[in-house]
Structure 1
Amino acid sequence: MSFVRRVALTSLAPLLLLGACAEDKPDPPAAEPTSSPPSVTASAAEPSASAEPTLPPEAEGTGPEAAEAFVRHYFAVANYAQASGDARGLRSLGTDKCIACQRSAQAVEDIYKRGGQVVGGDATVDDVRVTNPQNGSRPQSTWVEATVTNAEQTVSGSGKLDGTYPAATVRMYFELIPVGDRFRVTQWGQK
């Protein structure tokens, strides 16, 4: 079994986690809980695949609450990209240095360019924890951990990723940096 297929089969969303394996997995700082509500379905919090989600007001800014809302928004945009094949919004949420972001967007685009599709796999985000390290290589970074559950997903027309993937739940980390008055993702992966 190929490395990419193995990652897809054991990860939460095959398209989202394709690129995560390419990055070194740092040790994110321990996260402190925020005062967030316990669970939000990213797809329910944002418009369906017929309209690309827009950045909600609570995700604007660079504080801990904005970081949490930004990660939830990231998954709403990922849900949209997987359902529609339009990954431009997903690309715009990551920096050029976010390998996982770029590869995930590319995987979605490649499937749809080949005439394929992705059915299901919507993410639900729970237990979000935010921390702001004061000392480190990038002190401006904000680390976010979240439990992410994806519904069953079927990929067709992609070749190597074709198949049905069972629902799964994983703990993920995100490193966010402020760019202007909002965050962008510099890396993410499975904890």
Structure 2
Amino acid sequence: MGTPLGAPETTTASVRPESLPTTLTVAPAVRAWLAVAALGAGLLHAALAASAPLPALVVLATIGAAELAWAVLTLARERPPILKASLFLSLAPVAAWAGVATIGATSEAGTILALPPLPLAVASLLNVAVALTIAIVLRRGRPAAQNTGAGRFVAALALSAVAVCAVTIPALSVTDAGVGAVTVHLQHEGH
């Protein structure tokens, strides 16, 4: 049917808010990247906690455990948990490190927290990458195609793992946990 002027009728059902999906799914390849990046940041925060003073140990261990749990849940589900909040939560460790570094640089006593800067910088880089990826997913605002094939998911997972390992492993090697792992291994060279 047409309108009285003969023009075809247009329906607005496709643009009504109720027709939009209530939950935003994330493509498996994107979820793989988010999970691996959060895993790398979580491992770095956990490794830094091993040599930190007690207040920083609690904060770093909590941040690391949260990132590791979020990484596992992100990989296991169609939608990362607390997606909108994760945008800001992933930047919280970056803000905390920037605050501690600023206070340490401006205080007369020198640095407040003497943790190696490389692992903190790499963890911050990974957290910013997670936040940027979430921001892009939220900005797009449309559900992702879920049937993209296992090959694409495996390739994205492998590329994500290679990229994150390339920055995480060298950063882990300068933490006390990384140095301790090498030292223990060298003491047991007969195995």
The alignment's TM-score, normalised by the length of structure 2, stands at 0.31
- The structure carrying a bigger strand percent of its residues is 1
Larger RCO of the pair (alpha carbons < 8 Å, separation 6+)? 2
- The structure carrying a bigger helix percent of its residues is 2
